[in-house]
Amino acid sequence: MNNKVFTNNDNIRNKSQSKSIFLLKISFILMIVACCTLIFSQNLYATNKVATGMTHTIAVTTLGTVSCVGTNAFGECDVSSWTDITQVAAGEFFSIGLDNTGHVFCAGLIDFASCDVSAFDTYSIVYIAAAPSQVVGVVSDGTAIGVGNNESGQLNLSSWTNIVEVSCGDNHTAGLKNDNTVVCEGSNFYGQCNVSSWTGISQISTVYIIPSAFSQALFFSLVGIIITRMTFQDGTRVILPIFLLDMNIVWLWTHQMFHTQPA
């Protein structure tokens, strides 16, 4: 009789222990899944916390606001009203911010409508990038859209899918896919879009350059010569009916004139 009681108690105890071990295993598995989900969600899309334009620097603070230093000739540092910002980007004379709801903000020079970010309003943007005169955003569904200068086809992104990150050059746009390959649209004059063979890529970056006319105008301003006409490398011709007495004035005028059509 006593043996039976002890046997039954042992069985109950064993079952209880097995159940506890099973629950511990399930809890452990759920914890691993939760941790992996958190890590994946945090790293699926990169985040830009600091960005630089031509003459200004912006950064996201720990409070979700944005700090900006440098020139503010076009209002590129008028970002004090931005809140809940998670990412920033910058063009030559404008600043871009992305908040935690996927809304895009812009402050600064409206050049080639690059600061007209209303086109993003109907999308949930998860990543942003900017160049001198264009802005590109990654949508939560893995597609990408852009606004601004498209003279070289750098915003022809409608065929892109599974994009997790983008980067903008002056005349081209590169996109990183979730399989760690890279796609590119726009000018390939220097072979900057020869990325079709790339694999195992974890991050991308493109570079834009200051037009050579900037250094020319700066040189002429220093020697005090009056310029009446200037031809850029792309064939663009501009008239500068001003006295070159201040190199900052020369620089701003040449930037404004740079995007006129070739004669």
Percent of the chain's residues with pLDDT above 90? 48
Q: Which fold has domain 50-186?
A: Methylamine Dehydrogenase; Chain H (2.130.10)
Cβ–Cβ contacts within 10 Å for residue 22, how many? 10
pLDDT at 187 (0 to 100): 93
Give yes or no for a contact between 108 and 128, defined as CB atoms under 8 angstroms apart.
no
* Mean pLDDT of the chain, nearest integer: 76
Q: What does the pLDDT look like over 3-42, one tens digit per residue?
A: 554 555 555 556 566 666 666 667 667 666 555 554 444 4
Contacts of 91 (CB under 8 A, 6+ apart): 53, 108, 109, 111, 114, 115, 130, 131, 132, 133, 134, 135
For tokens 């064993």, the residue is 14
Distance between CA atoms of residues 164 and 139, nearest Å: 9
Tokens of 220: 């002429």
Q: What does the pLDDT look like over 40-89, one tens digit per residue?
A: 444 455 678 999 988 899 999 999 999 999 999 889 999 999 999 999 99
Q: What does the pLDDT look like over 114-157, one tens digit per residue?
A: 788 999 999 999 999 999 889 999 999 999 999 999 999 999 99
pLDDT at 27 (0 to 100): 66
Give yes or no for a contact between 144 and 157, defined as CB atoms under 8 angstroms apart.
yes
Tokens of 91: 């063009």
Higher pLDDT pick, 162 / 202: 162
Shortest CA distance to 60 belongs to which of 50, 70, 72?
A: 50
pLDDT band at 254 (very low <50, low <70, confident <90, very high): very low
